[in-house]
């Protein structure tokens, strides 16, 4: 897993709350309930957990695939997105709006009609688009309550925190970059010069 075997950059979080009774089974059930799945139909976006970094492994029944050394939970957030070709889509929609107006001998189609034509075109084109898949690794040490996410993107972070809370009933709070420092002398210097908000004072 890249988070533990390479210099892959990661965003750090602190997980708040105590471990529940029978936490292994509780975590297994939560991960399984919120694992990645593909319901019938065509969807713009889908997301869910997978075991380790395996894009297809969504069976959390085997503890050995995601729980290690009685301390680490290793899994990933898979996000699938179907994207329409923006320029071509805009041009095709313009042609269909023009054709609609010409058929009725009017100057232009109203906004409500344009919206209907747009929805029809989306439904027509979306199934043809292959989804783009991204994987974001998660490493959570339940002994220290430190968690690492292999993405600094705010959008990914927001998705992760919401799904994490729904899965485990616990909050993952991002750590400010200054608290990544492990050298106490450097930390003291940062705290001395940092804005009041980082020193425990009021905003």
Q: Render pLDDT for 88-126 as a digit per residue (tens, 0 to 9).
A: 999 999 999 999 999 999 998 999 999 999 999 998 998
Report the pLDDT averaged over residues 12-20. 92
Encoding tokens for residue 3? 């988070």
Predicted pLDDT at 92: 94
The label of the residue with tokens 């420092």 reads 181
Structure tokens at 26: 């509780």
Average pLDDT over residues 196-202: 34
Domain ranges of the chain: 2-82+132-176, 86-127
Whether residue 42 has pLDDT greater than 90 = no
Q: What is the DSSP letter of 109?
A: -
**150-189, pLDDT tens digit by residue?**
999 999 999 999 999 999 999 999 986 545 445 455 445 4
**Start-end of H helices in the chain:** 2-5, 23-33, 86-103, 111-125, 154-168, 184-193
Query: Which one has a higher pLDDT value, 129 or 79?
Result: 79
Dist. CA 187–CA 191, nearest whole Å: 6
Residues contacting 12, CB < 8 A, separation 6+: 146, 147, 148, 174, 175, 179, 180
Taking a C-beta distance cutoff of 8 angstroms, is the pair 80, 105 a contact?
A: no
| Secondary structure tally for the chain: helices H, strands E | 6, 7
pLDDT above 70: residue 196: no
Q: Is the pTM of this model over 0.85?
A: no
CA distances from 186 to 179, 182, 195 (A): 10, 8, 16
């Amino acid at each position: 897993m890249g988070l533990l075997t390479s210099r892959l950059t990661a965003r750090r979080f602190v997980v708040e709350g105590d471990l529940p009774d029978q936490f292994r089974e509780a975590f297994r059930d939560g991960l399984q309930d919120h694992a990645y799945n593909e319901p019938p139909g065509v969807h713009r976006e889908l997301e869910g957990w997978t075991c380790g970094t395996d894009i297809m492994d969504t069976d959390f029944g085997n503890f050995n695939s995601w729980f290690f050394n009685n301390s680490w939970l290793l899994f990933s957030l898979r996000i699938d997105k179907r994207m329409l070709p923006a320029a071509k889509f805009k041009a095709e929609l313009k042609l269909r709006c023009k054709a609609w107006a010409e058929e009725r001998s009017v100057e232009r189609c109203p906004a409500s009609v344009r919206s209907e034509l747009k929805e029809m075109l989306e439904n027509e084109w979306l199934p043809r688009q292959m989804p783009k898949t991204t994987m974001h690794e998660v490493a959570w040490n339940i002994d220290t309550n430190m968690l690492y996410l292999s993405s600094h993107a705010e959008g990914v972070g927001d998705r992760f925190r919401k799904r994490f809370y729904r899965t485990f009933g616990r909050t993952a709070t991002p750590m400010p970059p200054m608290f990544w420092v492990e050298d106490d002398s450097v930390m003291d210097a940062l705290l001395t010069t940092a804005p009041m908000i980082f020193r425990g004072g009021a905003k």
